[in-house]
């Protein structure tokens, strides 16, 4: 709605019904391209697809599979132009995304925006149409093994990671039972110590991440540089959720996640802790009436000059999605720069494949899809109901038949179609390449932009574990939420358009987040991360000495096939694969078998659900 429309509505209440209809039919299919000169917004169309939230749109989600779909991405061309940058600079609290064990911190730049310590308050979303679940398995598909570079078939996997072993890598089991993965040059890529419940990964970029997960699903993650998070589970409506308390460069905040069993893996989709009203989502989703210029102030930050050959901001912004696109990229690159400094990486980029206007447009289209998704979530959250993991997790992206683009939120080593290992780092752009096999635990993505050097080259197709893909989606959603908060706080300033009065309402905390126990103090989180790093130093020395003394009794043995639990299996098939349950809940025709990390529901003697 333009400003003139708002004034008419204010002076003539008898037009309220007409304007409500206009909001529902506002043309969200308008091209999301920056323009070289201000232009009037397109005239409203007589109708608009339900996938666009002109007035906050309708739609509902349920656990039988993804029930909301978003507008598919389009490619547009805008010539790269260097934008001017204003003199102001804001401080930034980190954004994050989990790791291949749903455990990585990511997207935590040091100087882009300011956000509350309780997690991002600005939440996004909009209504969309509802496709049927492509898998036909009540929103849950249970895998049979880790996938190779083409997303098919069981292959050897890295110790504790569930991702393919790259060409030339070897996996050795030590006498103590730990698994060590070495690269062709003899350097350790990863090790898994089941006695400590610890996994350590050394990335190609020189970073190290330590993950320790307990039987109760609590977790400590420690990255190089003294940052990471502490995860503690809690129950809400009978299901497990988790609060992660992040500590990064002296900043402290909390985010919230679900726990969802999908294709034989547990993924942790991010859920906003606060939601806005539909008027604000509609304002963020739709183009602005007139393109605006905006001074970010990034030119005073070292990361901006360092990545100058890789990233060029838009000269003007025709919509919030374009503004949020540059916000996401900037946050990611600032974090990548800090990670390189922590790892003492090489000083200059080596033959980068930059973010082109076409790639950035694809990211902007994905932003709008995520905005649409969160608007639908806000309606469920407003009723104190649970989020729908089938709609909010990567299940949607894998089954809706649409192309999806992701901005990497952490360092990640992957395997390409030729079996070679290459690196992905924060700020790289990748596109999901078609649908995956129903039982695949990895997906193929095409690299759209990378920073060169050891990174996967542009055009390469790489295999990404579904847990890592969930991390990428989490990173985008978390950063969009932070950008949403910035937009509302700074609307009407610095060239940003003012939001309508109805869109100024403060966000409301979700019942899922408010039900969590009080977070631990910052000092406790920082101390636990520091202590875990020291413990990992000790463990690595012990494992290295153990590996050097000779292989254990199971060295060279093929990795055991992961247990497969599928819809329709009998009780005998499940107990053969899983053993005797710790508890059995007998509800007549419905029985629940409770295992250490899983609850399996049988109806009439066959598997009907897994949690």
Mean pLDDT of 242-270: 94
* pLDDT tier at 562, thresholds 50, 70, 90: low
pLDDT for 208 equals: 93
Which tokens hold the place of 134? Answer: 């492509």
Alpha helices in 82-201 (DSSP H): none
Q: Please give the pLDDT value at position 347.
A: 67
CB-CB contact of 314 with 82 (8 Å) = no
CA–CA gap between residue 280 and residue 497 (Å, rounded)? 13
Cα distance between residue 322 and residue 327, in whole Å: 9
Distance CA 254, CA 520 (A): 10
Q: What is the pLDDT of residues 574-590, one digit of tens each?
A: 877 787 888 888 888 88
Average pLDDT for 592-610 = 86
- Cβ–Cβ under 8 Å, residues 125 and 374: yes
Question: Per-residue pLDDT for 459 more than 90?
Answer: yes
Token digits for 448?
């759209």
Burial 9-23 (b: 16+ CB within 10 A, else e): beeeeeeeeebeebb
The stretch 442-454 carries a mean pLDDT of 95
Please give the share of the chain, as a percent, with pLDDT higher than 90: 51
> What does the pLDDT read at residue 480?
98
Instruction: Tell me the pLDDT band of 224, cut-offs 50, 70 and 90.
Output: confident
User: Other CB atoms closer than 10 Å to residue 452's CB: what's the count?
Assistant: 16
pLDDT averaged over every residue in the chain: 76
What's residue 53's pLDDT? 57
The tokens describing 312, both together, are 């060029």
Asked if pLDDT for residue 304 goes beyond 60, the answer is: yes
Least confident interval from 15-24, 353-362, 551-560 = 15-24
More confident residue, 394 or 45: 394
pLDDT band at 205; cut points 50, 70, 90: confident
CA angle 67, 487, 13 (to 5 degrees): 75
pLDDT band for position 55 (50/70/90)?
very low
Closest CA to 71 of 391, 388, 373: 373
Which range has the top average pLDDT, 93-107, 160-174, 271-285?
271-285
CB 96 within 8 A of CB 246: yes
Instruction: Name the strand (E) or helix (H) holding 202.
Output: strand 198-202
- In order, the DSSP letters of 24-89 are HT--TTS-----SS--PPPPPPS---TTS-TTS-----BTTB-----PPP--------PPP--S--
**Confidence tier at 248 by pLDDT (50, 70, 90):** confident
Name the phi and psi angles at 65, rounded to 5. 135, 175
The phi, psi pair for 231, rounded to 5°, reads -105, 135
**351-369: average pLDDT:** 97
Tell which wins on pLDDT, 91 or 411: 411
The confidence score (pLDDT) of residue 547 equals 67
């Amino acid at each position: 709605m333009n400003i003139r429309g708002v004034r008419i509505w204010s002076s003539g209440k008898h037009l309220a019904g007409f304007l409500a209809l206009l909001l529902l039919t506002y043309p969200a299919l308008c091209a999301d391209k920056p323009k070289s000169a201000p232009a009037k917004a397109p005239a409203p169309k007589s109708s608009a697809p339900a996938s666009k939230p002109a007035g906050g749109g309708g739609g509902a989600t349920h656990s039988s599979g993804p029930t909301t779909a978003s507008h598919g991405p389009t490619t547009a061309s805008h010539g790269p132009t260097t934008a001017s940058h204003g003199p102001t600079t804001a401080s930034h609290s980190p954004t994050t995304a989990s790791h291949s064990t749903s455990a990585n911190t990511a997207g935590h730049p040091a100087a882009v925006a300011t956000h509350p310590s309780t997690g991002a308050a600005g939440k996004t979303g909009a209504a969309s149409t509802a496709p049927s679940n492509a898998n036909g398995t009540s929103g849950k598909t249970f895998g049979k093994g880790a996938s190779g570079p083409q997303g098919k078939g069981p292959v050897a996997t890295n110790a504790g990671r569930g991702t393919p072993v790259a060409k030339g890598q070897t996996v050795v089991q030590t006498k103590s039972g730990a698994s060590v993965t070495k690269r062709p040059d003899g350097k350790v890529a990863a090790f898994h110590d089941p006695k400590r419940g610890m996994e350590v990964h050394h990335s190609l970029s020189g970073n190290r991440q330590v993950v320790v997960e307990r039987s109760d699903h609590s977790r400590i993650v420690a990255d190089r540089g003294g940052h990471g998070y502490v995860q503690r589970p809690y129950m809400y409506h009978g299901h497990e959720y988790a609060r992660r308390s992040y500590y990064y460069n002296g900043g402290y905040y909390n985010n919230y996640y679900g726990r969802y069993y999908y294709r034989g893996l547990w993924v942790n989709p991010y859920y906003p802790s606060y939601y806005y009203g539909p008027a604000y989502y509609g304002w963020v989703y739709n183009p602005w009436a007139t393109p605006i210029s905006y001074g970010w102030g990034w030119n005073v930050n070292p990361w901006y000059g360092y990545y100058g050959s890789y990233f060029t901001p838009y000269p003007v912004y025709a919509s919030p999605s374009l503004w949020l696109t540059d916000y996401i990229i900037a946050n990611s690159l600032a974090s990548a720069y800090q990670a390189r400094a922590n790892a003492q990486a090489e000083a200059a980029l080596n033959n980068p494949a930059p973010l082109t206007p076409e790639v950035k447009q694809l990211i902007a289209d994905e932003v709008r899809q995520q905005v649409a998704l969160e608007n639908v979530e806000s309606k469920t959250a407003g009723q104190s109901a649970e989020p729908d993991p089938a709609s909010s997790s990567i299940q949607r992206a894998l089954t809706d038949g649409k192309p999806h683009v992701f901005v990497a939120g952490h360092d990640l080593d992957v395997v390409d179609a030729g079996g070679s290992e290459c690196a992905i780092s924060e700020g790289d752009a990748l596109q999901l390449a078609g649908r995956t096999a129903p039982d695949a635990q990895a997906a193929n993505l095409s690299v759209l932009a990378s920073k060169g050097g050891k990174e996967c080259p542009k055009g390469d197709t790489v295999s990404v574990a579904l847990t890592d893909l969930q991390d990428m989606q989490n990173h985008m959603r978390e950063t969009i939420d932070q950008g949403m908060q910035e937009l509302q706080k700074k609307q009407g300033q610095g060239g940003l358009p003012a939001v309508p009065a109805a869109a100024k309402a403060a966000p409301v905390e979700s019942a899922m987040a408010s039900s969590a126990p009080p977070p631990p103090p910052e000092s406790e989180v920082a101390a636990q991360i520091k202590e875990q790093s020291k413990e990992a130093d000790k463990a690595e020395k012990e494992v290295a000495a153990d590996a050097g003394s000779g292989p254990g009794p199971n060295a060279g043995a093929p990795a055991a096939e992961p247990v497969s639990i599928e819809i329709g299996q009998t009780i005998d098939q499940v107990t053969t694969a899983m053993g005797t349950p710790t508890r059995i809940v007998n509800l007549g025709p419905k029985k629940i078998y409770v295992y250490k990390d899983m609850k399996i529901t049988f109806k009439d003697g066959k598997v009907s659900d897994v949690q």
